Structures are given as structure tokens and as C-alpha cells.
A and B are shown apart, each in its own frame.
Chain A
Amino acid sequence: MSAWLDPVPWLILLPLIWATLAFILGPRRGGRLAMAGLAIQLGLAVYLATQMMATGPRVHSLGGWGAPLGIDLLADGLAVAMLLLTQIAALPLVIYARAYFSASSTASAPQWEGAPRRMVPSDQFWPLTGFLLAALNALFLSADLFNLYVTLELLTLAAVGLVALGGKPSQVVAALRYLLVSLAASGAYLMGVALIYGTYGTVSIAHLTPLIGTQPPPAIWLAGGLMMTGLLAKTALFPFHFWLPPAHGGAAAPVSALLSALVVKASFYLVLRLLLEPLAPMAEAVSWLLGLLGAAAILWGSWQALATRHLKRLVAWSTVAQLGYLFLIFPLLAPDGLALQAGVMQAVSHGLAKAAMFTAVGVLMLATGRDTLDGLAGVAGRLPLTIFALGLAGVTLMGLPPSGGFLAKWLLIDAALGQGQWPWLIIIIGGGLLTAAYVFQVLRQSFLTAPESTHFQPVPRSMEWTAFMLAAASVLLGLRGVEWIELLAVV
């Protein structure tokens, strides 16, 4: 097959091209370009998935050199599942973002003191989003430890830029804290890569896996420890979660959705990939620690979500908690693949549900002009579709059937029982109950009667519908679980 038609390189090239063009077009321009680009990307990702199911994993040698001299891209089941999630979640989000930015600039947009004149939060949104998506696609497809570092840098800078978008002082503070944590984490990862390169002379994952074998020298343990610490800090796993609530809770709604749904999943994907392949000898030693940190994240994150009175903070803390579930899979990873399926199903369903939640909360905040739970009274009557979307996304996060979240938790429980590790059940079910508590807190508030004086801003219908579609997708995912599991079997 001609390389022209290979979807693998185009999934990286396309977002890079439209991001650059959006930058050239100028501030606030490029929304249509982004929608067109993402529609093609979604088509390419689906095409790649069907092709791969038929013919197996695909390697694309950049420059035609091949590893270890050059860099290889690898599309296998795990990578393509993440690619699909990225394009499926991002397409509705860019449609939402266009409506969101035009609505929030015409409506009485909350202006802060000392805001630079003529600066609107949407100024650089499109190029930043394009580079963010290019970084995600490149990261999922990369099979080279150093190239992964470069994609992590691209991802970090795009995400930090998006958090700072608009330059509100609290946002710049959150963005800088995120930047510093992320840079330190990247540094730790890079140090690990340097140690591995010094030991084996290559950074290609396919070459490293057999070289590292089962009895690696101490340098590899140190390298693995550094890389894991860096990636966990980027994933915001408890106790590295402190940067996440201000960053995700303070950004514009479409940005929070992109960050919570996709960006933190990228570094989780890398932890998983490294522990499955080159660093497999370390997996046994660290899996319990990762599981326990995940359990702590579920309890602490849910508790904080329950305690906060701010809508967006609540959703951001819920991300901290839901990320914990991703790490429960590590003590349960076994050849039967149940835990791996549970992890990917959780990543995908949480990605869609969290995108739905942040978009729905964005609608509510535009309508009420407030960011507190108390401001929600009466919205159920005014914005029923949005409240329905919020409820559906909640169903996925709680893990009720038939949602994707239910499937993920069911697979996880299945894996835990199969291996006789039943204590994890308490965490899985307890976390679900806590999730139900904070979701119902929001829903209950929205059904209260509003005071007479309450004024609601009109909100574009397209924003409500995109939130609803994302939420519906996260629930319906449970019905298409078999296809995703078959996809994962392609290795």
C-alpha cells in the first residue's frame, strides 16, 4: 500500500498543519479549520482501527531508516484505542468551544481587574488545541523513548498555554505551578531515558524490551524509578495531584474538558506501556504501590469533591478520584488481560464522561453567571438537556449499567475475584458510592426552586447538544464494549 494513504503519519501531520495555519490566520480564527481537520482525523482513526483488526499492528519507519538508527511509529491495539478516544472526544469539544467562545464574548463575560485590553480567552485557543492534539496522537503512536519525551514536552507546553488562556491572574498562577511540576517531571523522565541509552545504546522500545530482559542492572531500576515518578506527577496520581484542581478548575470549560478527558490519560498510557513492555521486570515490584496510591486517590479525591462548593472544582476533584481507578489495574495485571481491558475501558469512558461533565458545567456557568453549587437552583427547569447530560455522565462515573464505566468496574471486579484479591472490591464499590454522593449533590441542587430574582443567560443549543452527545456516548460505550476489547487484542 502506498505510504500516501497510510493513516498513521497523517494523524500527526494533520493537526500540526491546521494548528500552524490557525496561528497564521490570527487570533480567534481557525475554528472551522479545526472542525474540518478533526473530522478527517476521526475518519482516519476509524479507518486505521478497522485496517488493523484485519491485518495486525502497523509499523511506520520515519525517513525510511527504521529503528534503532531512525524512529519508528507503532500502531497496535492499545495505541489505536487511545487514538480513537482522542478524536471521538475532541470533535464535539471543538464544536462546543466555537459556541462557547462566541457566547462568552457577547454575553456579559466576567472581566477581571487589570485584564489587558483586547485580550479574549479565545485568542490562541485554536492553534494551542491543534498542537495539543498533535502531541497526543504523536505520543500514542511513538515507539521510541526519546521521541516520547519530545511529545511529552509538546503536550505540556500546549496544556500550560491553554490553562493560562486569557491571562486571569489565578489562571497564570495555576498554569505556572502546572508548568513547574511538569518540567520537573519531564526532567526526571529524560534522566531515565539518558541512563537507558547509556546502558544499551538505543531508545527504541522494540529493541530495548529483549535487551532489558528479566534481570536488569541497577541503572535500569534507577532509570525506571525516575521515569515512573515523572509520569505519575504528570498524571496527577495521589500524592502528586495538588496541581490538578486549580489548573483544571480554573481554565475555560472546553479547556478543562480537553485536559481532564485526554491530557492526563496520555501519561497514564505511558506508565502502562512501559510497565507492560521494556520495564516489565519492575512491574511486580511497583504494582502494589501503584494500586494503593490509586485507592488513596479514589478516597481523597471523592471526599474533596464532596466537600467543595464550587462546581468546576468538584468536577476537577472527581478527575483526581477517577484517575485512581486507572491505577487499581496494576496489581491485577495478568495474562488473561482482564485488568488491561478494565484500564482502557475506564480511560475511554471517563474521558467521554468527564468531557461531558465539564461541557455541561460550562453551560450552567454561562447560564447562571456563577460557579457555585448554590447558584444552580432552578436550572433543571431551564436547561433540562444539560442536567440530563450531567446525570448521564454521572451514571458512567458511578459505574451503573449499561455505561462504559460499569463495564470497566465489572472487568476490574472480575479480575480481582479471579485472583482472590477481594480487598480491592471495597475500594471499587466504596468509590462508586462516594461518586454517587457528589453527583446527586449537584443534581439535587439543580432541582430546587430558584429565587424570584434569578436571571438566566440564554445559552446556544449547540453547546447543550454537544454535552449531551458526549454523555450519551459514555453510556452507550458499554454496549459496544466487545469491539473495544477485540481492538485491544491486536498486539
Chain B
Amino acid sequence: MNALLRGCTVLACLGLGLGLAWSMLELPPAPIQMPGLVASHMDQSGVDHPVTAVLLNFRGYDTLLEVAVLLLALLGMLAAGTTPLHASSFKEAPMLTALARALTPIAVLVAGYLLWAGAFKPGGAFQAAAVLAGAAVLLRIAGLLPSWTTPADGLRLALAAGLLVFLGVAASGLALGGLLAYPPEWAGTLILLIETSLTVSLALILAGLFLAGPDSRPPEEQS
């Protein structure tokens, strides 16, 4: 029975894959050319990189909701009160501790660069936040950072700050005729403001997905 089910699943996936490949080969050229449309509006976007212009300006609303999605992922975890998989205590490892100490400053530097680079080449808040969160995970594994049982007042504010700033900028755009409308001369500054606050909040959210949960170290080691 199980083998039959698996066989059917494989066949269905194969059929879907072939269908997708076949329909892709048949595709005519698209009647609306989005890259050209984006390129012709770049001068009003406030940044020099088309991806950042689409993510933070032309389709900034999608990004706003995606930030809420990320915060929601952490909220869902807190709501379920699930114990993370890594609850077993991390072993003392001198090499790991040394590595974490050495890499963390570099990670902060790289994150700062990625944030800044987003204006004119691939980069931006999400990438920078991922690097920072990676550093936090490394610190946690090395035992240099405690886990969170429940996020305290200040931490909750920092987790939500990125979304709040984004919402504030979005709402003030209403004065100019539309949600998320930026005045062209301010667009660059506003995007930098949003990206900077997003970097902090997203880094904390991503790190929280790993760090939130009961502290697994023995009580005498907990700070």
C-alpha cells in the first residue's frame, strides 16, 4: 500500500515536471517587459540597484508584508512553546569558542558592508540580517550567548522596530497620495532608514528562531 502510494507520488511528480518543461519550451515572448519598465523608472527610485528599487520602492508593499511574515514565524514558535531541537547542552569546545570570537566582528563588518552595498549592487537588509543571525547562532553554539526563554521588553521592541519603522514610513506616504509613496528627493534616505532598522530586527528575528527556547545549560552556568 505504502509502496503503491509512493509510486503514484513519483509518477505524479514526474508528470508535473514534464508538463512544466514542455510548457516552458512553448512560451512565447512576454508582451509586458518588466525589466525595461523598471529601468525607465530607476531615476525616480532613490537607489541605483534595480533589485533594491523593486523590493523597497516599486513593490515595497510585498516586502512590508514579508517582514510581518518573518515576525509572525517567530511569534508562531513562541505561541507553540516548542523546545528547539538543539536543547541538549552544547559541549565545551575551545576551538569553536575561539572561532566564534574571531568570526563575530568580521560578520558585523560584512553585514554593515552588505547593508550599504544594497543601494548600488546586490545586497541589502535581508542579506545583512542573515549574516548577523549566523554570527548569533555561532555564538550560541559556542556557549557565549544564552538562549531566550521569553523575550523581554527591550528585545520585543527591537524585534518589532523594523516593522514599525516600515509601517510609519508607509503611512506617511499617504500624505503624498498613496501608501508607501516616497517623495523622489527623499526616497534614498527613507529606503536607507527602512533597511537599517530592518537589518537589526530581521537579524534578531532570524537568530530568535534558533535562540528562543529554554536555556539548556546547567543552572550554575546560566548568567
Contact = CB atoms under 8 A, between A and B. Distances in A.
B75 A161 contact: yes
A374 interface: no
Interface stretch (B89-97, B140-148, B175-183): B175-183
Q: What's the interface size class on B, roughly?
A: 35 or more
Given A69-B37, A218-B22, A63 B178 contact: yes
Contacts of A60: 178-179
Interface of B: 19-20, 22-24, 26-28, 30-34, 37-38, 41, 57-62, 65-66, 68-69, 71-73, 75-76, 78-82, 150, 153, 156-157, 159-160, 163-164, 167, 170-171, 173-182, 214
Contacts of B27: 198-199, 217, 219
A146 B62 contact: yes
A71 B82 contact: no
A23 B176 contact: no
Contact of A63 (B28, B82, B182): B182
Contacts of B33: 201
Main secondary structure, interface of B, reads helix
A207 B57 contact: no
A3 B178 contact: yes
A61 interface: yes
Contact of A128 (B62, B72, B170, B177): B72
B31 to A, nearest CB: 6
A396 interface: no
B26 A218 contact: yes
B23 A158 contact: no
Interface in A135-163: 135, 138, 146-147, 150-151, 153-154, 157-158, 160-162
Contact of A20 (B20, B163, B177, B178): B163
B69 A165 contact: no
15 contacts: A23-B71, A62-B60, A63-B181, A65-B41, A69-B38, A71-B62, A131-B68, A147-B65, A150-B62, A150-B65, A198-B27, A199-B30, A200-B30, A201-B30, A211-B32
Contacts of B181: 63-64
A154 B157 contact: no
Contacts of B157: 24
Contact of B60 (A63, A116, A172): A63
A27 interface: yes
Interface in A52-90: 60-65, 68-71
Contact of A23 (B80, B160, B177): B160
Contacts, number: 179
A207 B170 CA distance: 25
B78 A123 contact: yes
Interface stretch (A9-17, A354-362, A407-415, A423-431): A9-17
A95 interface: no
Interface of A: 3-4, 6, 9, 12-13, 16-17, 19-20, 23-24, 26-27, 60-65, 68-71, 116, 118-119, 123-124, 127-128, 131, 134-135, 138, 146-147, 150-151, 153-154, 157-158, 160-162, 164-167, 171-172, 175, 191, 195, 198-202, 207, 211, 217-219, 222
**Chain A CB within 10 Å — which of B19, B81, B82, B214 has the most?**
B81
A13 B171 contact: yes
Given A13-B167, A71-B59, A150-B69, A167 B80 contact: yes
A153 B160 contact: no
Given A198-B24, A219-B24, A134 B68 contact: yes
A16 B80 contact: no
Closest 4 pairs (CB-CB, A-B): A201-B30, A161-B76, A167-B81, A201-B32
Contacts of A128: 72, 75-76, 79
B73 A124 contact: no
